[in-house]
A and B are shown apart, each in its own frame.
Chain A
Amino acid sequence: MRILTLKKVIAVSLLLTLFLGWVILISVMVGSVRVDPRQSLSILLRYVLSLKPTEHEMEETIILSLRLPRALLAGLVGAGLSVSGTIFQALLRNPLADPYILGVSSGSAVGAIIALLLGLSAYSFGLPLASFAGALITIALVFYFGRQGGRVHPNILLLAGVITGSFLSAIIMFFLSISQKEELHTIIFWLMGDFSFANPRSLIIILPYFGVGFSMLYWKSRQLNLILSGEENALQLGVEVERLKILSYLCASLITAASVSLCGLIGFVGLIIPHAARLLFGPDHRLLLPASALIGASFLIACDSLARTILAPVELPVGVITAAFGGPFFIYLLRRRKVVKTL
């Protein structure tokens, strides 16, 4: 009788991590400037093993200061968006849910735009902090509206989220309309997802949020399975449903807010990757969460590599690439109706 065991989860995770490592390697080796693959490898190895750096300063800078932080950031954000997408789909019991469905993205965007317009983006903390604040305020608002009688109703929450999101989008458009040319460009670029300013410092700042978010969500992954067949069911099986929901919403929103604050809005990842992971590994969150994270990381790194090489020297926004893959994949999912009964 096949049941899910820790061993199986570890085995799959290991496999996917190896795959992820390979994707990172490839992404570090491609770019608008041609660096010999063997050289790239040697630079990388020397760095990882803390050996003396080579004399090829230019290639070192490109590999270690540009491509590697960028790959790591893309990976982290990809994992974060995929995990929070998975959680939102489970909590809202809706296969079309994605990390932005509760208005978090609009809130982050408003925060970021305000920072840009006030000139706070000059400080490397300014933009991420402001957009993070925007996201948190939005989450608080949505929860305030979505709670009734001490309980969080998925449909009311959804409604509150969509309405708040729309309202915030209107604010964004207002800002766009009064902005001057220069600011406009930057805002729009950020709205479409931008990894070009990845640097190790921002990674380190955001890492704890991801770490805490992931751990808490994984700790509750078995109970999340129970919520899938209905909250009443879960309650009857002994799950403190309200607490679990609030914790999960909070963690997922935290991870989303952190991602958005780092690099703007990147769509489709949080929507598609959970479905892809479910197709491959089933709906059990104990396996699904790590699988989504690792697959999402690989996916976004690959997309970002494409985004920065296809039209060099100009970069395509990452969101364009994810949509280009996401769209057709979603259509494929729709045709495979077995996957999700409601679609």
Chain B
Amino acid sequence: MIDSFFDFFLTLALPHGRGRGRTAFSHPGGKGRGCLLMLCMLILFAPSLSYSSTLRLKDEVGREVVFPFPPKRIVSLAPNITEILFCLGLDEEVVGVSIHCNYPEKVKSRVRVGSYISIDFERVISLKPDLILATGAGNPKEVVERFNTLGFPTYVIFPKRFDGVLQSIRHIGQVVGKEKDALRVIESMNQRRERIVHLTGGLSRPKVFLQVGDSPIVTVGRGSFGDDLIRLAGGENVAGREREMYPRLGREDILKRSPEVILISSMNPNGDYERIFREWERWKMIPAVKQGRIHLINSDLIDRPSPRIIDGLEEMARLLHPETFKK
């Protein structure tokens, strides 16, 4: 920990290059001088050791954010952000979460600050956060602007598609001072993705219909996470050409597209999936129904831009190519 702090401090002091190698220790004969320097700095900066500095960054929507680094009190306004934070090893630092945050389990008892659009500003302020993390795909601009005017730095991520998730994990890692952990997570996710892509490379792509909404029926179109995952998992999204991210299709239209696999995302916790299944059963001319390939899939895994999206991908691959992924 001290290592990274030290590194960072030096990279600020030495503007040329953020190379990890360039510390006092690497200077020839510098071990002794390095220790002395470190001692001096410790003495000089001991009182402000808790906040070594402020960081000035551009967030994923191009806004400039200035905040104390590393942030010790973080508020997350979306469940995917919360998951990322915990995945990077933070815990007590996350002082406030949204009401939708449900993973990991311990988050369920954290202080709730509101939904995506209805934020309890008072509660957030009372938590005295150093940094607020928001997502462009969910939290309205007005909320972010409001926090700005009130003087609370807000960093906005805006992940789009699978690669965007990796990016956001990386950025958040940089922002909270856990860049190394972030890179590790990303590496692991990449590896697992590569494996799936490799295994499904030569296989034929089944036509997939992913249902994310009921009454009306909503599916995933171009640019959505679901669409990306279907592609990566070796399938073909029947709605892949739709320009809207979450297009609404009528049942006849779906019929026309003859999906071979129907995936139903667990869109709401008390959802009546029995009913939805039975609805589909009536349309025996759909290949997926005929072959009994209608499956439930956890929406938290496939529609939430968090580290667990790789789990969702693996689950989907298993459902699309059961012979290849016998586990």
Contacts and interface: CB of A to CB of B under 8 A. Distances in A.
Direct A–B touching, Cβ under 8 Å: yes
Which of B122, B142, B150 has the largest number of chain A CB atoms within 10 A?
A: B122
A61 B140 CA distance: 21
A313 B126 contact: no
B141 A58 contact: no
A62 B149 contact: no
A180 B244 contact: yes
A58 to B, nearest CB: 6
Interface of A: 31-33, 58, 61-62, 65-67, 121-122, 124, 180-182, 185-186, 189, 196-197, 199, 308, 312-315
B128 A58 contact: yes
A23 to B, nearest CB: 19
B137 A182 contact: yes
A313 B141 contact: no
Contacts of B115: 314
Contact of B123 (A67, A121, A312): A312
B199 interface: no
A192 B113 CA distance: 21
A313 B114 contact: yes
Contacts, number: 70
A131 to B, nearest CB: 14
Nearest to B126: A33
B243 to A, nearest CB: 12
Contacts of B146: 197, 199
B327 to A, nearest CB: 33
B117 interface: yes
B62 interface: no
Counting chain B CB atoms within 10 Å of each CB, which of A61, A65, A67, A313 scores highest? A313
Given A189-B118, A196-B118, A313 B140 contact: no
B247 to A, nearest CB: 10
10 contacts: A32-B122, A58-B126, A62-B125, A65-B149, A122-B141, A197-B146, A314-B99, A314-B114, A314-B115, A315-B120
B122 A121 contact: no
Contacts of B225: none
B246 interface: yes
Contacts of B138: 182
Given A180-B246, A313-B99, A199 B117 contact: no
B79 to A, nearest CB: 15
A62 B124 CA distance: 10
Given A180-B244, A313-B99, A124 B118 contact: no
Q: Which 6 A-B pairs have the closest CB atoms?
A: A313-B120, A33-B126, A33-B122, A313-B114, A122-B141, A315-B118
A122 B121 CA distance: 19
A61 B99 CA distance: 23
B125 to A, nearest CB: 5
Contacts of B128: 58
A45 to B, nearest CB: 20
B307 to A, nearest CB: 23
B125 A312 contact: no
A82 to B, nearest CB: 26
A295 B253 CA distance: 56
B145 interface: yes
Contacts of A182: 116, 137-138, 140
A84 B244 CA distance: 42
A115 to B, nearest CB: 12
Contacts of A66: 121-122, 125, 150
